[in-house]
Amino acid sequence: MTESANATRPIRVLVGKPGLDGHDRGAKVVARALRDAGMEVIYTGLHQTPEEIVEAALQEDVDVVGLSILSGAHNTLVPRVIELLHAQGLDDVHVMVGGIIPEEDAEELRKLGVVAVFGPGTETEEIVRFTRSCAREA
């Protein structure tokens, strides 16, 4: 029993696209890279509300939520997701954001508790490395 318990504990990651923009190439590239790194990636598809993303994160019991936002609405969407995560008691879920985020906004998001903000041109290896470091203990 202990044998297999140690052997199988993949990191679970939710990759979601909140808001209205329809460009999910970046999200798919990241989802694919995380899968190829041995993680279980739940991809929710386009046009998700913060409520839907947080409910999915709860049901899927993920270690990490990755939000891809290209619409410029990150200053409203991300705080809302974080607020809802806390409201559900999901304080141990790490939130990462990818997209086109100006540096001063990124700083604000980090202050809110976002563990990483990845801009265009980020190597997928870096995202994989960082996601691994967010894995939960148990």
Residues at the contact surface with another protein, assessed by CB under 8 A = 1-5, 8-10, 12, 31-32, 34-45, 48-49, 51-52, 55-56, 58-61, 88-90, 138
Q: For another protein, give the closer residue by CB, 80 or 105.
A: 80
Residue 103 C-beta: closest distance to another protein, Å: 31
Q: For another protein, give the closer residue by CB, 36 or 126.
A: 36
Amino acid at 89: G
Q: For another protein, give the closer residue by CB, 43 or 118.
A: 43
Q: Residue with structure tokens 């590239």? A: 29
Torsion of CA 99, 127, 136, 97, to 10 degrees: -10
Residue 98 C-beta: closest distance to another protein, Å: 17
Length of the chain (residues): 138
Residue 18 C-beta: closest distance to another protein, Å: 12
Q: For another protein, give the closer residue by CB, 62 or 101.
A: 62
Distance between CA atoms of 96 and 63, rounded to whole angstroms?
11
> Cβ distance 54 to 88 under 8 Å?
yes
Q: What DSSP letter does each residue of 28-70 carry, written as one string?
A: HHHHHHHHHTT-EEEE--SSB-HHHHHHHHHHHT-SEEEEEE-
Residue 117 C-beta: closest distance to another protein, Å: 23
Distance between CA atoms of 113 and 78, rounded to whole angstroms?
10
